Structure 1
């Protein structure tokens, strides 16, 4: 019987790492598997970003189907993509209406955690309101941009699944444009841990209002390349109370460059192969040049719906 040389090499590597067995060997194997998985993800990110391999080819290389490989890594690559373009993200992402903060954060709150803070769009609102703000963000590039943009915030590395704060240390936790990336089963328990009894978990999303015809045309361009479905009214598990909801209509004035940055900073655009991403951006530029409501405009008014959810820890 012939032996697959790749499998044989993998077996020898595992034996070398494991050594004689026991708990120490188990820890070494676990750390090695984690490092290898990170390296595999990095290789897949490069292959996809440079258009060098399809999901079918990646799936075969990983012993999976195309669908399995896409489900396994496409969301992960999108979630981790923002740190590659923090300046573009900061320039292109909209702020939030002040009324969203006033509704989401209780007046009695003094210490607030901005979880998945990105480059600080909501963090700035919290700091300007006179709150003591902890800003937790997993991406190093995003944290650097955040620290420069909102120096009064206490910026820390972490995630919704591993919050680097003590039990009962904040009065409210706000998650702006981020909850759809987290593992809710883990995040709910971590948020409950760091909140004081009676504390508030606040979720907020900005959604483009595509009842405006040119916004619908823009969304049509984006959705021809990819579609990202986001649940902006999620259910929140125990120990939290039933959710309260609010929707706010508002608009933000943007330059042409800022609108292109907004498009370029979408996770599903960042992770497109280079030729597809450039084609998409050209299509958006053509819309700006040709649409009757946009042509020749130096400033563009983007309509938004801000969808807010708040729940409380009993």
Structure 2
């Protein structure tokens, strides 16, 4: 994906902010606990917070959370659903916080949009020494037969290169973390995956996939055709054709520490 395409994909979510808030999954609490485990204190920045999916999990776990999000529509949805949270307009490349003001920076399904050459020093600036940087991604578990079939039908627009476990491991193995060097160094990275799941119906799973960036940027006719193929596949599988089911997932975490 070239730079212009990445910008188009990254900026596509605002138009679907309400659907994103309704249909995107939360994060496995065990994954969030593991991400935070080495942090020296409770102050957490949810960076690229979107509509507050990860923010809500952090609050439920007792963290002191500040949410930073660049898209106005997404930030509006976050403030509506989590009115007690301090939600700020800003980006990974320009974080509106003082130096060493947080103990952890967590990023839910967004770190791949960052320009880490710029964002890395910014994240290091706001992190206290020993602070944690962790990216979390919700993955569809394509080791399950029907999920693998869904991935084949959906193609890369709906289920992209970081959306299944094996491809996530390759795509995120150090690729989105600040490089060692400069005045603020980060330690080696760790990758861990945690079981997760989301209760869905065929209709709500189609609605979930419709909030993926690759789908949002498709021309309307192509988008409708893709979602129609997905709907037809789900209707033909015994696991998904009738009522509610659990979408098998993992939450993958990539973690490092500021030295």
- TM-score, length basis structure 1: 0.74
1:202 aligns with 2:134: yes
Pair 1:304–1:224, CA change in 2 (3 A): closer
In structure 2, what is the equivalent of residue 251 of structure 1? Answer: 197
**Alignment counterpart, residue 302 of structure 1, candidates 247, 251, 255:** 247
Greater Rg over alpha carbons, structure? 1
Instruction: Give secondary structure in 2 for the equivalent of 1:164.
Output: coil
CA deviations 1:108-131 (Å, max 9, x no partner) are 422110000011111001111222
Any gaps of 5 or more consecutive residues in structure 2? 163-170
Distance in structure 2 (CA, Å) of the matches to 1:150 and 1:257: 26
1:233 aligns with 2:176: no
1:260 aligns with 2:200: no
Distance in structure 2 (CA, Å) of the matches to 1:90 and 1:160: 21
Q: How far off is 1:292 after superposition? A: 2.4
Distance in structure 2 (CA, Å) of the matches to 1:108 and 1:287: 47
Residues 132, 153 of structure 1: 8 Å contact kept: no
Q: How far off is 1:223 after superposition? A: 1.0
Distance in structure 2 (CA, Å) of the matches to 1:278 and 1:234: 36
CA deviations 1:245-273 (Å, max 9, x no partner) are 21112222113332122110000000000
Pair 1:197–1:224, CA change in 2 (3 A): closer
**Alignment counterpart, residue 35 of structure 2, candidates 80, 104, 120:** 104
Residues 202, 308 of structure 1: 8 Å contact kept: yes
Distance in structure 1 (CA, Å) of the matches to 2:213 and 2:207: 12
Residues 97-106 or 273-282, more deviating? 97-106
Distance in structure 2 (CA, Å) of the matches to 1:179 and 1:234: 11
Structure number having the greater helix percentage:
1
- Coordinate RMSD, CA, aligned: 1.7
In structure 2, what is the equivalent of residue 78 of structure 1? Answer: 9
In structure 2, what is the equivalent of residue 187 of structure 1? Answer: 119
In structure 1, what is the equivalent of residue 168 of structure 2? Answer: none
Residues 239, 245 of structure 2: 8 Å contact kept: no
Instruction: Give secondary structure in 2 for the equivalent of 1:281.
Output: helix
Instruction: Give secondary structure in 1 for the equivalent of 2:187.
Output: coil
Instruction: Give secondary structure in 1 for the equivalent of 2:107.
Output: strand
Distance in structure 1 (CA, Å) of the matches to 2:16 and 2:61: 28
Residues 117, 176 of structure 1: 8 Å contact kept: yes
**Alignment counterpart, residue 172 of structure 1, candidates 90, 98, 104:** 104
Q: How far off is 1:300 after superposition? A: 2.0
Pair 1:307–1:226, CA change in 2 (3 A): closer
CA deviations 1:125-149 (Å, max 9, x no partner) are 1111222211000101100111112
Instruction: Give secondary structure in 1 for the equivalent of 2:206.
Output: helix
Any gaps of 5 or more consecutive residues in structure 1? 1-69
In structure 2, what is the equivalent of residue 221 of structure 1? Answer: 153
**Following TM superposition, where does structure 1 have runs of at least 4 consecutive aligned residues deviating by more than 3 angstroms?**
224-228
Pair 1:265–1:195, CA change in 2 (3 A): same
In structure 1, what is the equivalent of residue 49 of structure 2? Answer: 117
Pair 1:261–1:109, CA change in 2 (3 A): farther
Structure number having the greater strand percentage:
2
Pair 1:180–1:225, CA change in 2 (3 A): closer
Residues 44, 64 of structure 2: 8 Å contact kept: yes
Number of residue-to-residue matches in the alignment: 244
- The one of the two structures with greater contact order (alpha-carbon pairs below 8 A, sep at least 6) is 2
Q: How far off is 1:169 after superposition? A: 0.5
